[in-house]
Amino acid sequence: MPYTETDFYEQLLNSTRLFEGKVINLRRDEVELPNGKIGTREVVEHPGAVAVVPLTKEGNVILVRQFRHPVQQIMLEVPAGKLDAGEEPEACARRELAEETGFAANNLRKLISMYTTPGFSNEIIHLYLAEGLVKSDKRPDDDEFIHTQTYTPAQIHAMIASGEICDAKSLVALFLAGI
């Protein structure tokens, strides 16, 4: 069945700002649906983020363990973080890699960019593969409580199967890095 773009588009009628936060903002938009009816859309505005797969010369991956308050769990993830205002994704990837693992990368390769939750947020996350790792002198911020550890691909496969690695960005980044 063919379609045209006008079958889908929603026309913005008005927008109400509900919250301006430290990390996210929230607004509610009223839209006209393709059938002329009125709908509302709740939108979480996010600055965007990066995630990095740090691959050692032995073919292992450095992961970060940290407490995630929204899900009340200690999670094991690839190094990641939010874009600072005006920061380029590649610069952010290098910064987060250094801050969270203490390494710089001689080779940083973009994998893809993806939307984490296009149904309710505009968050985009840029995924990178970091190789040629060399020690940097950066260390985590005082208020970042993280623990880094290196895992083999076999360990990572087992932790994906067991659900220990279970966040979207880590899964996509690890798959695309060929782990």
The footprint of a copy of itself (CB under 8 A) covers 1, 3, 5, 7-10, 18-19, 21-24, 26, 28-29, 31, 33-35, 37, 39-44, 46, 49, 65-71, 73-75, 77, 82, 112-125, 142-143, 145-147, 160, 163, 166-169, 171-172, 175
Q: For residues 130 and 142, what is the distance between their CA atoms, to the nearest angstrom?
A: 24
Indicate which residue of 10, 42, 90, 144 is catalytic: 144
Which C-beta is closer to a copy of itself: that of 44 or that of 104? 44
> Least distance in Å: CB of 48 to a copy of itself?
11
Which tokens belong to 133?
A: 């790792």
DSSP-H helix ranges across 87-149: 89-101
> Least distance in Å: CB of 91 to a copy of itself?
20
Which C-beta is closer to a copy of itself: that of 121 or that of 152? 121
Please state whether beta strands 49-54 and 38-45 pair in parallel, antiparallel, or not at all (unpaired): unpaired
Which C-beta is closer to a copy of itself: that of 20 or that of 88? 20
Contact 113, 92 (CB under 8 A): no
Q: For residues 56 and 22, what is the distance between their CA atoms, to the nearest angstrom?
A: 34
Which C-beta is closer to a copy of itself: that of 12 or that of 132? 12
Q: For residues 82 and 48, what is the distance between their CA atoms, to the nearest angstrom?
A: 6
Active site residue 30: no
Element (H, E) at 148: strand 146-151
Active site (catalytic) residues: 144
